[in-house]
Structure 1
Amino acid sequence: MSKFEQISAHIWIMHAEHETDRPILAAIVGERRTLLMDAGNSPAHAGLFREALKRRGVKLPDLMVLTHWHWDHTFGMSAWGVPAIAHSGTVKTLRDLARYHWSDETMKTLVQQEMLSAATVKDMKEEYGVESERSIEIIEPDVQFEDRIRIDLGGISCEIQHVGGDHSEDSCYVYVREDKVLFLGDALGPSVYGGPRSYTSAGFLSLMDRLHEYEGVQIFVESHGVPVSRDAFLADIGEWEQLARLVALHGDDRERITEEMAVHLSVAELPETFAEAIGWFMVGVERGRTLGLRAAGGDGT
């Protein structure tokens, strides 16, 4: 069952549900306008949030902003009927996806082309049902930006900044300055399309540099997690930042990275979470080497 919560003076959220990869949705309510952060992974998902807002007397969204193009954040757009704001990369990808008819065969082809993953298709089929009942309408956003945009809602403002990263090149942070809340979307996650999951140390550390610029944030929200306090978030993400720095220092020396990370955590054996993440970083190192060889005119072998 969906959990609805007010996390600050102006922000209401519906928590993530993992059965069909539903991310957090948020309503940021100003004196003049309500901004929806992300549209949901389907009209059904969007409808649950709309009804929750109505039951609590919260003013419904007048416009929405998208953190990135992935289906779970955007395929519910048709249910809202309000103008949408997104990075130009998000707009381009949704425009491309809008030409597809979402049959089982189409989904299979998109997996083969590495535009989607098998896990994504599984979640989409569970969310939308069998092919004969499936209706997916992709909407192209109305307003696009390149670097950042600020939205005045009346007494409260939202700043959307493009940050990129491995998860999706169009990823954005959404900062509600007056409430000291930063929505991170999925930006800090690994890539999920285009081949095996991967991280790059440069990509992750760039995201951390951007994150540290938000000195006033007291609540951090990742789309498939739960809102956490500043101290708790920085303590957790600091360990991941250290791992990225070790990869930047040692490259593909997995054994040395594992040993030094275990020392950093003061453990005899590295937890599985970090062992798995090192594997993602190793994929990123190999991809970077291959791209470097191609740029230099080599064959990548």
Structure 2
Amino acid sequence: MLNKLSDTIYYLANQEDRERPTLGLICGDQYSLIIDSGNSTQHAKDFLQEIKKLNVPPVRYVVITHAHWDHFLGMNEFDATVIVNSQTYKMINEWKRYSFDDISLQQYVKSNQMSTMCMKTIQTDMPNRDSFKLNSPDVIFENTLSIDLGNKVCILEKIKSTHTDDSTIIYIPDEKVIFLGDCAYGTTTNSLFHYKQSMLLPMIKDIQKFDAEMFLLGHESICDSNEMNIYWEELTSASRVVKSTSLEKAIELFKVENNRDPNDNELFFIKAFVNDHIIQSQ
């Protein structure tokens, strides 16, 4: 079931148990635009089935927020122009070489080209996968792109991110709504979960220049300005105290700076920034 954010913005909520991120639908007077295409052909079909229940203009565009499998593997199901930034384009094109039979999938998992969850999702939710070949995106932009759907402008921008190097966000000015994809999350490298510390403040700056009141994230669904500000504050306060690979020193510095122990979120973030230092030192 689609959630209605306004008369022109809808979203299909994330399903963490199935590794399905939030998918968005923006409707103008003439056309509609979709944000992310889902983690499989079945995810995309489920989304399209829900859209059919609405009286909205035809879907003309699909924007992929970044080149992680759960956000683009449903791409082939949409009879629309697929838009990506140039870095996402290069990464998705790597997937065009993949085969999706069991032997190939198992080999990709073994060589760390694909997660086990990705393999299981493909096996479950992608019929005819033995002959499946991923399409290529249609429009590639470098930094920013504006799309007019008919009295409804969407601004696409490639931003710095703690999650990936190819993150695109989508801002709808008249609604003050922004789709962040996964850009505000951390990532895993060499089995260590971390936030890219050098990208944190530039990312926040890139996002906060937009006058947004509602934020849709890939795996949280929706947050208001107050919730996002709390998130930014906890992240930045954690980042400020991490200056080395020592968790103990970071926690001690946090206590000195804040006159209290870190809460559970802050402790999680501190550990993630420490992991980033460990990764950078390897």
| TM, length-normalised to structure 2 | 0.90
Shift of 1:30: 0.7
In structure 2, the residue matched to 1:283 is: 275
Shift of 1:112: 4.0
Q: Which moved more, 1:93-102 or 1:188-197?
A: 188-197
Shift of 1:198: 2.2
> Do the aligned partners of residues 93 and 52 (structure 1) sit closer, same or farther apart at CA in structure 2, a change above 3 Å counting?
same
The SS at the match of 2:241 is: helix
Q: Are the counterparts in 1 of residues 241 and 251 from structure 2 also a CA contact under 8 Å?
A: no
The SS at the match of 1:140 is: coil
More strand by share: 2
Please give the alpha-carbon distance, in whole angstroms, between the structure 1 residues aligned to 2:107 and 2:268.
28
In structure 2, the residue matched to 1:199 is: 195
Matched, 1:258 2:251: yes
Question: After superposition, what is the alpha-carbon deviation per residue over 1:263-293, rounded to whole angstroms, capped at 9, x for unaligned?
Answer: 777754642x443433332232122234xxx
Question: After superposition, what is the alpha-carbon deviation per residue over 1:172-219, rounded to whole angstroms, capped at 9, x for unaligned?
Answer: 1111111100111001111246653222211222211212212x2110
Matched, 1:232 2:227: yes
Question: After superposition, what is the alpha-carbon deviation per residue over 1:4-49, rounded to whole angstroms, capped at 9, x for unaligned?
Answer: 1111232111111112211111111111211111111112111122
Matched, 1:144 2:140: yes
> Do the aligned partners of residues 278 and 156 (structure 1) sit closer, same or farther apart at CA in structure 2, a change above 3 Å counting?
same
Q: Are the counterparts in 2 of residues 114 and 193 from structure 1 also a CA contact under 8 Å?
A: no
Shift of 1:238: 1.6
Matched, 1:223 2:215: no
In structure 1, the residue matched to 2:61 is: 63
CA RMSD of aligned residues (A): 2.4
The SS at the match of 1:92 is: helix
Shift of 1:80: 0.8
Q: What amino acid maps onto 1:63 in structure 2?
A: Y
Aligned length: 282
Please give the alpha-carbon distance, in whole angstroms, between the structure 2 residues aligned to 1:61 and 1:24.
17
Q: What amino acid maps onto 2:246 in structure 1?
A: D
Please give the alpha-carbon distance, in whole angstroms, between the structure 2 residues aligned to 1:84 and 1:12.
19
In structure 2, the residue matched to 1:100 is: 98
Q: What amino acid maps onto 2:277 in structure 1?
A: V
Q: Are the counterparts in 2 of residues 128 and 134 from structure 1 also a CA contact under 8 Å?
A: no
Shift of 1:257: 1.9
Question: After superposition, what is the alpha-carbon deviation per residue over 1:211-248, rounded to whole angstroms, capped at 9, x for unaligned?
Answer: 2212x21101111112121122212232112212222x
Q: How do 1:69-148 residues align onto structure 2 when only pairs under 5 Å count?
A: 69-128=67-126, 136-148=132-144
> Do the aligned partners of residues 245 and 122 (structure 1) sit closer, same or farther apart at CA in structure 2, a change above 3 Å counting?
farther
Please give the alpha-carbon distance, in whole angstroms, between the structure 2 residues aligned to 1:233 and 1:268.
22
Structure 1 runs not aligned, ≥5 long: 291-301
The SS at the match of 1:45 is: helix
Which residue of the other structure, out of 158, 164, 167, is the alignment partner of 1:162? 158
Please give the alpha-carbon distance, in whole angstroms, between the structure 1 residues aligned to 2:141 and 2:190.
25
Please give the alpha-carbon distance, in whole angstroms, between the structure 1 residues aligned to 2:190 and 2:158.
21
Q: Which moved more, 1:36-45 or 1:253-262?
A: 253-262
> Do the aligned partners of residues 14 and 104 (structure 1) sit closer, same or farther apart at CA in structure 2, a change above 3 Å counting?
same
> Do the aligned partners of residues 280 and 120 (structure 1) sit closer, same or farther apart at CA in structure 2, a change above 3 Å counting?
farther
Please give the alpha-carbon distance, in whole angstroms, between the structure 1 residues aligned to 2:85 and 2:180.
15
Shift of 1:127: 3.6
| TM, length-normalised to structure 1 | 0.84
Please give the alpha-carbon distance, in whole angstroms, between the structure 2 residues aligned to 1:13 and 1:228.
13
